[in-house]
Structure 1
Amino acid sequence: MHAQGGGVVGDGSRRPAWARAVEMFPPSDRILSTVLTRQAERYGDRVLLVAGETRWTFAQTAAIAAASAQALVDAGIKPGDRVALMCSNCPEFLQIYLGCAWLGAIAVPINTALRGFQLSHIFRNSRPALLAVEAQLAGAIESVEAGVELPPRTWIIGAAGEAFDARLSAVSLPPLGASAPARDVRPGDTVAILYTSGTTGPAKGVCCPQAQLFWWGIYSARALGICDGDVLFTTLPLFHTNALNAFYQALLNGCTYVLEPKFSASGFWAAARRHNATVGYLLGAMASMLLAQPATTDDKTHRLRVALGGGVPPQIHAPFHERFGVPLVDGYGSTETNFVFAGTIPSGRPGTMGYLADGFEARIVDENDSALPDGEAGELVLRASEPFAFAAGYFGMPEKTVEAWRNLWFHSGDRVVRDADGHYRFIDRMKDSIRRRGENVSSWEVEQTIQSHPAVAACAIYPLPSELGEDEVAAAILPEAGQSLEPVDIVRHCEGQIAYFAIPRYVRILSRMPLTENGKIKKGVLRDEGVTADTWDREAAGVTLRR
């Protein structure tokens, strides 16, 4: 039996699986080692992870976590040390992550697209004691700035295809052997540092407590109606919150977690059928890309009954449901928070954030943090009722932590309206921010890269609407006096220095920037002008990025 909020569980109870998990794990037990151990005893040989040819049962996963922890200990890793992970959606990512959580070390997942300035900042900020990197990605380390200290030890995942940066002390990922006992870890201890792009400065490392990931697993299951025995199917990257917390959803609710290497619009439904998936995860443009595929007679021949649809444009919901038979669930959360808002299944108000979920408080406030009435837009601020259900702050950035959590509320930076009926609607970011196909782009980081070009006098990065929903990255460039620039020069300059998804699609070469009285660039003017006659479009020009 499937129903919103959960169905019949393995012991015959009609309590939702997530509600039973809350009862099974009192506050002091909301740490990954305890959850793994108890769920291994409960579910034993039930399959927990499917990733390519790899299959882990619940019992095997707990054993792998303990053995991975011992491998980390043998490499000199201690509780509290940071372990950087730069790899794709592969079992080794989870193996090392679970070992860190078991040991009390801190995993630092790195977006595999980062290069140059962005990658250098993460190493400089997190100061990892160990780097685990896939062989095919090891070349990215060469883009790290010369003055940045790299980790003293490096594990290479997979066969080495080329020489590594001479600064790396690299060995192959060690095989698993003996097991380490679970360390004394507390629910408020940081289990991962997840980097989220800033708007006016470098990316911030979000300190995620053990209990925060526990609650992601609970609250997401509640919103999606996940049941004991479901098959959770994700193509999203493990270095982001969504795919990582989906593993917790499976672990806590007795489900199977299917991890695909990456999203493929043409291959999504075939993979869902192959795995008998029942719950899916789609963000932003992904639903639009699936709808753009040619219709087939197999469009409804699958078992998927619900999919997360955060950020999916409202006009997409009904056609998607009609064609594929899958309702999309509206929702809202962030790396710093949790699954705070959720819509109904199917959504009664597509494209909104949904209702405030139980376990959270929300206010819409003005610039002085005073509450605003319904119908008036302001900044969304949030609090959690459960201890450690939100992030603890930003690693190595105490001033940013105080700013974001001032007055004991987390300030989301999102401009939101609460309607009289209790629905919340996202309007825009309070500051200049760009989200392209599920990735947050820091305009500041892109500007820093472009302004290092010797022929650039000034640069402004801003969002323009994408045909697929969310944004495209646009750049307005003012050349140095006497210098000539072609738009493609900007693209080529960015390649290898920033993530491919942050490289501008649109470029305008201007003779004068719109400025405020204080000499600041009026990005609002550039956004409002949109795609003008003098705007160069990389895609229309047929320019392919060199990744």
Structure 2
Amino acid sequence: MDRLTVPGLLETAAGRFGGRVFLRMGGTVRTYAETREAAAAMAGSLAAHGCRHGDRVAALLSNRIELVDLVLGCAWLGAVVVPLNTALRGRSLRHILDEAAPHFLYAEPELAARAVTEGFRGRVWVAGSDDVPAPDRGEAIAPAPVRPEDTAAVLFTSGTTGTARGVRCPQAQFVWWGRNVSDALGLTADDSLYTCLPLFHTNALNTLAQAMTVGASCTVDGRFSASRYWSRAAGCEATVVHLLGAMVPMLLAQPPGPQDRAHQVRRGLSPATPAPLWEPFRERFDVTLVDGFGSTETNLVIGSTPGEYRPGMIGTVRPGFRAEVVDETLAPVPDGIPGELLVATDQLYAFSTGYTGDPPLAPHSWRRTGDRVVRDPYGWFRFVDRIKDVIRRRGENVASGEVEWVVCSHPAVAAAAAFPVASELAEDEVMVAVVARSGSVVEPAELARHCAGELPAFAVPRYIEAMPALPLTETGKVRKAALRERGVTAATWDREAAGSA
């Protein structure tokens, strides 16, 4: 069996680490050997229910053991799993179901009804019912002869800045995620991984691959809770946690307490962590954060390690990858100049094969990321912004990420999001929504003065509004589209109006 496939990865792990605990989820605890048997039996159950090699099986399931069984069972059978965001509804759900075109749907009761309302006409399996594919209802079958380039999953991008697209993720991409991230984090069989990110997101799915690569154990929690995070991590004896940058300020905003260090966690993978929060996080929680660049379409192309990191930098190019920074014409730009990140890989099928409906991409072709970055003379990269999030003000481009970096460096601010709002003079005005640290109050005028000392005049926010929390997607990304739609409100402070007064 090809080791660059999910069944190959699972077979190898079961052979090496059979009796060791692989997964803790809800009330279920499974060893590697038991997980291998569950995947084989789930594949047999899927086949008995009419699912065949290449069929697409959509899932509207929260973080529960049935979803892990479905992911691994589909990979074993050669079917394609399509895990969907459980928050989808209405037009967005209808669009994704149309694009994914699944043959089957495995869903929780309310979500199954929602999908049928939005026009799904395939076969529906309702979680918790008697007629669903499950490992305890299927006969174990041999793994299908899947290839590294075969699609294992279609994962949809979050769609925070536009229409969500389905990304075809080949079998080998998950194997490479496991190898690359476990290498960057220095994982071993003695580690215990903890994630509470949703399994319809590549971050959480690849936590499973990381554990399988080295024989570590993995705990998948239901959802993120800032107040219970460290007690949950301590309860599963986690040594490594998986975060997103938006979670870091939420944890720092919690009142300090004995739970802050009453755990065994020492490393955390946390892409897009604001630089001003790096050291405060390490000092308070005794956890070293590791940043990196990867996406649903790619892999861990750029990253740091627990022993070599620089706050605010996403890292250097990892072995097996290439990266360039280019201008609008795709010509390389000098170090120190912002541009779009282009990436390529030498690892076979470590990247997606493209979007649903599009022709397959060559495995080693250069890919555009839509991200603005800066590379320094020493090869370290700094994330600036999504290109679509650039604010145009007074003829200048304002990177929302740069504004957020400065705003978050203010001691009263826990989290911030910068975004454009309409200007009386055409183009945009800069607005920031901020969340205060626990026990602090954000004074807009003081924050504006702080920004004026750190930013060019054209980038200093005109509008500032304090909020109890930023609107987030299910994967922890700030929903800037919702903030832009909300715009200036009666509670928004206006620097120009305050100056006139």
For the aligned pair, the TM-score class normalised by the smaller chain equals 0.7 to 0.9
Match of 2:44 among 70, 85, 95: 70
The alpha-carbon distance between structure 1 residues 151 and 461, as it changes in their structure 2 partners (threshold 3 A), is farther
**RMSD of equivalent CA atoms:** 3.2
The alpha-carbon distance between structure 1 residues 406 and 380, as it changes in their structure 2 partners (threshold 3 A), is farther
Q: What amino acid does structure 1 have at the position aligned with 2:482?
A: P
Q: What amino acid does structure 2 have at the position aligned with 1:116?
A: G
The alpha-carbon distance between structure 1 residues 348 and 214, as it changes in their structure 2 partners (threshold 3 A), is closer
Does residue 360 of structure 1 match 2:321?
Answer: yes
Question: Contact conserved, 2:60 with 2:86, CA < 8 A, in 1?
Answer: yes
Match of 2:191 among 207, 227, 230: 230
Residues 310-347 of structure 1, C-alpha deviations (whole Å, 9 max, x = no match) = 11111111111011110111111111111111123256
Q: TM-score, normalised by structure 1?
A: 0.71
* 1:343 equivalent in structure 2: 304
The alpha-carbon distance between structure 1 residues 129 and 327, as it changes in their structure 2 partners (threshold 3 A), is same
* 2:382 equivalent in structure 1: 425
Q: SS of the counterpart of 1:393?
A: coil
The alpha-carbon distance between structure 1 residues 32 and 462, as it changes in their structure 2 partners (threshold 3 A), is farther
Q: Distance in 2 between matches of 1:102 and 1:93?
A: 14
Using the TM superposition, give the Cα deviation of residue 224 of structure 1 relative to its aligned residue in structure 2, in angstroms. 1.2
* 2:127 equivalent in structure 1: 157
The alpha-carbon distance between structure 1 residues 268 and 384, as it changes in their structure 2 partners (threshold 3 A), is same
Question: Contact conserved, 1:82 with 1:128, CA < 8 A, in 2?
Answer: yes
Question: Contact conserved, 1:106 with 1:191, CA < 8 A, in 2?
Answer: yes
* 2:91 equivalent in structure 1: 117
Match of 1:314 among 242, 266, 275: 275
Q: SS of the counterpart of 2:39?
A: helix
Q: TM-score, normalised by structure 2?
A: 0.78
Q: Distance in 1 between matches of 2:14 and 2:492?
A: 55
Does residue 415 of structure 1 match 2:369?
Answer: no
Residues 221-268 of structure 1, C-alpha deviations (whole Å, 9 max, x = no match) = 111111122100001110000000000001111010100000101111
Using the TM superposition, give the Cα deviation of residue 143 of structure 1 relative to its aligned residue in structure 2, in angstroms. 5.3
The alpha-carbon distance between structure 1 residues 421 and 192, as it changes in their structure 2 partners (threshold 3 A), is same
Q: What amino acid does structure 1 have at the position aligned with 2:222?
A: P
* 2:216 equivalent in structure 1: 255
Question: Contact conserved, 1:328 with 1:347, CA < 8 A, in 2?
Answer: no
Does residue 372 of structure 1 match 2:320?
Answer: no
- Bigger RCO of structures 1 and 2 (CA < 8 A, at least 6 apart): 1
Q: Distance in 1 between matches of 2:431 and 2:112?
A: 33
Q: SS of the counterpart of 1:351?
A: coil
Question: Contact conserved, 1:127 with 1:151, CA < 8 A, in 2?
Answer: no
Q: Distance in 1 between matches of 2:430 and 2:56?
A: 34
Q: Distance in 1 between matches of 2:33 and 2:178?
A: 19
Q: Distance in 2 between matches of 1:296 and 1:278?
A: 20
What pairs up with 1:24-63 in 2 under 5 angstroms?
28-63=2-37
Question: Contact conserved, 2:348 with 2:364, CA < 8 A, in 1?
Answer: no
Q: SS of the counterpart of 2:23?
A: strand
Question: Contact conserved, 2:326 with 2:341, CA < 8 A, in 1?
Answer: yes
The alpha-carbon distance between structure 1 residues 466 and 225, as it changes in their structure 2 partners (threshold 3 A), is farther
Match of 1:214 among 172, 175, 182: 175
The alpha-carbon distance between structure 1 residues 341 and 114, as it changes in their structure 2 partners (threshold 3 A), is same
Q: Distance in 1 between matches of 2:109 and 2:335?
A: 53
Residues 48-67 of structure 1, C-alpha deviations (whole Å, 9 max, x = no match) = 00001101110111111111
Q: SS of the counterpart of 1:194?
A: strand
Match of 2:482 among 490, 499, 504: 504
Q: Distance in 2 between matches of 1:100 and 1:463?
A: 46
What pairs up with 1:321-332 in 2 under 5 angstroms?
321-332=282-293
Using the TM superposition, give the Cα deviation of residue 39 of structure 1 relative to its aligned residue in structure 2, in angstroms. 1.6
* 1:476 equivalent in structure 2: none
Structure 1: 5+ residue stretches without partners: 1-24, 160-169, 444-459, 470-498, 511-529, 535-547
Q: Distance in 1 between matches of 2:218 and 2:154?
A: 22
